[in-house]
Structure 1
């Protein structure tokens, strides 16, 4: 059974107004919701006893806290220090923002008294709690290996060596003959890999076998690319090599250590 190139779904597209709503609509909605939330958070701070201009700090502290916690929760990899705390903090910030809006509107519409002790106590704890959690996130930075991945070097062009056709030996009492022009193999075009690390792995196919993960990892280390994860070796580097040359995927696996 021959090799078949996997089907890929086309890039989604849409009318211009749909693309405009996706790109420009999100920041517009973000700005609108922040502006609409500020009066409620300001009034809750006033209910708790803060005077102007200090009461204006409540909307900014809640908005900045929610944004920082959400970014940290989304950018830190799974298992990294501080990720669970950032997720909890992002949820806590959403609860605080929702509670501030509900309380402010209940008080303004007369469904709730503004001078209740529990409301004043809970609101007074918001700024120090936000500050303590932000300091905790700052004290648990992402490790350097996870925060700043090694930049990928520029793409390189790999020339495939093509063996020359054999020369027919001369017949007795005849001059040597060169192979006909139509039998000479044209030189294949150069391959330009998207991931330049493919250039260090491609020579392993020259012996007629499909290299294993361990052999490809050793070749990458010897070429100066450092230690690369198994999923990247098989799913990115080897997949791109065999995408350009599908026949390589049909080679028998190399005998020896493969993992």
Structure 2
């Protein structure tokens, strides 16, 4: 059938058969529900029988204790199965959890069978052994389904890219004479920025200005270090636009740095900076206050 002759089934009202994914999901859901029911019934039968065994052997008058006693056996199975599930999700083997399940299952099956008595028929022992064995198998199947569900969720959470991206990397080699790297075609070149220079209409004669011998010497020593944070902030404002910072500007900078908004603090800091670096007083003062 060509692509032009295909018809969307959702617009025609024709029922579309279930996909294999939908069938698998339905079967998995039904199996999970039945496994939960089977686990609950098997545990209940085993627990009930163990309660009768406890009541017949010293706990007949203590009803609460006879009902609590089977938990000391059956809960080992639940704890061990959960620890095995955790270990399998971490891709490791927990032998301690396997030992708990083995001990709990062995004790549950042995006590259920032993509670029947010595003179009972063979079928009575089978009836007593079926619930703990069924509980073991059902709980194991339930944990396996939970593990499969979590593994499927982990695999679907990672989305693969829709289209593969092929990246080719050419190993660059430099020409010894020029130092230019070969294989530059693998890297896109950006156009060089060349500023436009307007040609002068006429030559301009530039006269060199005489340098006064009595010019102030420039101190090339290390810059002055200010231990006070406010002084550091005010000194940085001098170098931002080479003007003396105004009080308002200093307060705004102090507020942004979390140093308060005191006018006197700002002005005092500006005075300390000028005292340590007198050449800053030559900066324009038109906006200073």
* Both structures adopt the same fold (TM-score exceeding 0.5): no
Q: Please give the TM-score of this superposition, normalised by the length of structure 1.
A: 0.36
Instruction: Return the structure number with greater relative CO, CA threshold 8 A, min gap 6.
Output: 1
Q: Which has the larger radius of gyration?
A: 2
Q: Calculate the TM-score normalised by the size of structure 2.
A: 0.33
